[in-house]
Amino acid sequence: MMVKQKIRDGTLFYECEECHLLYEEKIWAERCEDFCSTHHACSLEITKHASKTNS
């Protein structure tokens, strides 16, 4: 699985393909995607690092 890169308002974000949250740091998007695909749920410890831009 590879996180997706997305440009929002001129800023590069990384998207978890499982839950579609956006992260400014690739490492968190990868951790989110790992967790989401394994547990089919999000980890609050990970999603708190997500960008607010997505909502």
**Residue with Cβ nearer Zn ion (19 or 22):** 19
Residue 53, SS3 per DSSP: helix
Query: If you search the block for the tokens 């992260």, which residue do you land on?
Result: 23
Site string for Zn ion, 17-36 (x = CB under 5 A): -xx------------x---x
Site string for Zn ion, 34-53 (x = CB under 5 A): --x-----------------
* Binding region for Zn ion (CB under 5 A): 16, 18-19, 32, 36
